[in-house]
């Protein structure tokens, strides 16, 4: 492919925040009286906060009204923000910095395409902000992954057609979004979970720009 841009999911690809989302959701489930496992959590990755809450509540068989739902989502987010408030640059996932700097050297544009409304504060506390040309986060989209809106906006702001961009994702919903938007995609995680990606790698140390150009 004619590689001009890369769009990175944030949680679980660039930084190790997926574990904090899980801890906060599990704490909420326990307060509501049921267990929420790491397997259950797979379905929440990349999914918006309210859609995640809906999935969690259906696992617990709980049907609250809209006002209670807002309160539960706010409770989870408060714990999550506490967990990420102490984040340091050493929670940047292996290979992220090397790849981002290599892309810069090659003149390939970089974007964040994240469902998270907390993306800005994570990028600031880890010092990653300046390595991205474009940042699209949960505050700038109206349709959650698997809708391709977040990645299409990223490509549009880079002024690149989707077929010249590669999306990096750790979530099934994100891979579906990338495919729907006409992007090549790299799954970061387990092949059994991310099988629809063009290639699956365990982390960003395991991909080169040459491999990406061959997609």
* Contact positions vs ligand B16 (CB under 6 A): 9-12, 21, 44-49, 52, 77, 114-118, 138, 171
Q: Does 11 bind Mg ion (CB under 5 A)?
A: yes
Query: For the chain, what is the HEC assignment?
Result: CCCCEEEECCECCCECCHHHHHHHHHHHHHHCCCCCCHHHHHCCCCCCHHHHHHHHHHHHCCCCCHHHHHHHHHHHHHHHHHHHHCCCHHHECCCHHHHHHHHHHCCCEEEEECCCCCHHHHHHHHCCHHHCCEEECCCCCCCCCCCCHHHHHHHHHHCCCHHHEEEEECCHHHHHHHHHHCCEEEEECCHHHHCCCCEEECCHHHCCHHHHHCC
Nearest approach, Cβ of residue 46 and Mg ion (Å): 5
**Known catalytic residue: 9?**
yes
Which residue number, 3 or 115, has a Cβ lying nearer to Mg ion? 115
Residue 172 interacts with, from Mg ion, ligand B16, none (CB under 5-8 Å by kind):
none
- Residues numbered 110 to 169 that lie near Mg ion (CB under 5 A) are none
Residue 49 interacts with, from Mg ion, ligand B16, none (CB under 5-8 Å by kind):
ligand B16
Binding residue (CB under 5 A) for Mg ion from 9, 40, 137, 198: 9
Q: Which of 9, 40, 137, 170 is catalytic?
A: 9
Residue 146 interacts with, from ligand B16, Mg ion, none (CB under 5-8 Å by kind):
none
**Known catalytic residue: 2?**
no
Which residue number, 162 or 174, has a Cβ lying nearer to ligand B16? 174
Q: Does 170 bind Mg ion (CB under 5 A)?
A: yes
- Report which of 113, 211, 214, 209 is spatially closest to residue 167, judged by C-alpha positions: 113
Residues that bind Mg ion in the complex, under the rule CB under 5 A: 9, 11-12, 46, 170-171
Tell me which residues are annotated as active site: 9, 11
């Amino acid at each position: 492919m004619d590689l001009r841009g890369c769009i990175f999911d944030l949680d679980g690809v660039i930084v190790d925040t997926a574990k904090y989302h899980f801890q906060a959701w599990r704490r909420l489930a326990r307060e509501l009286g049921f267990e929420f496992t790491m397997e259950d959590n797979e379905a929440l990755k990349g999914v918006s906060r309210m859609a995640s809450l809906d999935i969690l509540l259906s696992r617990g068989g709980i049907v609250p009204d809209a006002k209670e739902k807002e309160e539960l989502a706010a409770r989870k987010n408060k714990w999550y923000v506490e967990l990420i408030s102490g984040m340091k640059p050493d929670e940047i996932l292996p290979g992220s910095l090397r790849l981002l700097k290599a892309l810069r050297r090659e003149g390939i544009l970089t974007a964040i395409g994240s469902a998270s409304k907390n993306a800005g504060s994570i990028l600031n506390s880890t010092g990653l902000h300046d390595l991205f040309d474009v940042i699209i986060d949960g505050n700038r989209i109206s349709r959650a992954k698997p809708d391709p809106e977040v990645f299409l906006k990223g490509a549009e702001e880079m002024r690149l057609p989707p077929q010249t961009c590669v999306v990096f994702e750790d979530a099934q919903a994100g891979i579906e979004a990338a495919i729907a938007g006409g992007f090549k995609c790299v799954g970061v995680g387990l092949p059994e979970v991310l099988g629809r990606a063009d290639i699956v790698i365990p982390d960003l140390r395991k991909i080169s720009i040459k491999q990406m150009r061959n997609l």
